[in-house]
Structure 1
Amino acid sequence: MRAIIVRAPGGPAALEVADVPLPIPGPGQVRIKVAAAAVNPVDAATRSGVLADAGLMPPIGEREHTGIGWDVAGTVDAVGGGVTGFAEGDQVIGVRDRLDVPVGTYAEAVVLDAASIARAPRSVPAVEAATIPLNGLTALQALDLLDLPADGTLLVTGAAGAVGGYAVELAARRGLRVVGAASAADEALVQKLGAELFVPRDAHLGDAVRALVPGGADAALDAALLGVRALDAVRSGGTFAAVNGGPVTPLPLRGITVRNVWIRADGARLAQLSDLADAGRLTLRVAGTLSLDEAAKAHERLAAGGLRGRLVLVP
């Protein structure tokens, strides 16, 4: 089968279309025929060697090749021993949370643990459904970690982005008062997603948030990885969630509890997101679709920035 692999770290040109053996599911696993795979920043960070340099995975080149891609939507076409919740022919979405694997979701088929997948929303095309797992789970797990009461005030940075957009929408559905920070051009979008208040990202964040929320927000979900700039907008004794650590996780100044949100696969929580999407309560945004052979082009577009939603590869 065809898959996108990396043999040595580098730019988008390091992505190679290769013929690899069809993976066989082991106990507790399923094989998914890939219909769509979203393109995420973590894919570029893996390809370039940034994650290996940070000590988050072994160096690329230590194994024969490294697979790329986390998000998937597709059809179960083989089931390993002990799997009872899924059968061949089921439409599913899923996420892999291991960095060092020979085959990722940029492939014609991928094997995942059954605990990492959920039934796909019935009313949503696979291309849109593929944008849910990584970013939706990251937002959901960050909100769980912050654990704000229903009347709490939450600042979401990068509120027009993939993680930030889901976070705004999910937080608003929990009854939180959301302050969205994004480009001024995205104000209408962020408010449509559920933000009650908005601050432009080029403003001094601490001052701008306090002008709207005296004393500062109860918590911040830092999807834009602004670090101390976002921390400054949180009240003393509040809570701060750094998405996937960020480049520099801020120190817990002013008694603020600082936590890192590291995505983990969770089929049960993913099923909840799938249900929300099926009910039209989760906004799914696709910036464009490309073929598997155009993975390098997709990474070039990702690096150029300005996307709203995710690019999706369609094998």
Structure 2
Amino acid sequence: MCREVDLHQAVLAKNETSAGTLRAELAARGTSVINLLSSPGSGKTALLESELLRARERDLPVAALTADLATENDARRLARSGVPVKQILTDGLCHLEAAMLGGHLDGWLPDGTRLLFVENVGNLVCPASYDLGETLRVVLASVTEGEDKPLKYPTAFGLAHLVVVTKTDIAKAVEFDEAAFRAHVAQVNPGVEVLLTSARRGVGIGELLDRALAAADGGGVHQPVMAQRPPAHAHHHDQHGHEHPHDQHDHEDHHDAAGLPTHPGDPARAYAGAPGVAARRRP
């Protein structure tokens, strides 16, 4: 079982290297990546379309890349904004990786692009482990998904620089408990900002763009506590004092008091190369 964990760590380490390279290359071009993560149906595409329209109104050079297992529906929808848009079809892969993203940018990303919005594959599990060379990682949740979403997906919410609540126009109808949601977010990611939005009503539109620009300019990026945690030990001891590697089932079951994973393939380690985090990575 040790080999499974070692393979997992190797994959994350390779992605971390690719993410660092991509981040440096894009920084040299003056481009910052905004990585958007959420469950399917959260309203991510609707919000992004509104933000892209706002960016165009402000003459900000932005682009968008959207990833799905199949169909180009989201790309066609985002293209209505008039900004450069590209679709990535992952052919069954449940997340984007830094090398994959970089490959799709070659020869496509327009010179002078200030912000590149990446709409990741719709789920809160696989994408949470992979740094895409982003400057800002945003996790979205709709009011229909339940207030306990941050506790169910602590890695995704725990590594977010910003949390966005969508579809607030129907919050009352679905009896969304905002206070409970905020409390759960704070439990896994103390201090992270929570934005309330409604693409349908125009509530909060432009705020994501403002946060993205602030991050691109080098200021105002929240640093998640989870990303600053030291790496977990890769072995445990049995009652006889013999050392054993954690297996893949172990890493799914080990959590700290805040509900954050402590397995040797901890996504916080893979994400330690993100901006503002690398300098604080502990030995």
Pair in the same fold by TM > 0.5: no
Greater RCO, CA 8 A, separation 6+? 2
Q: Which has the higher strand share?
A: 1
TM-score normalised by length of structure 1: 0.28
Q: State the TM-score, normalizing by the size of structure 2.
A: 0.31
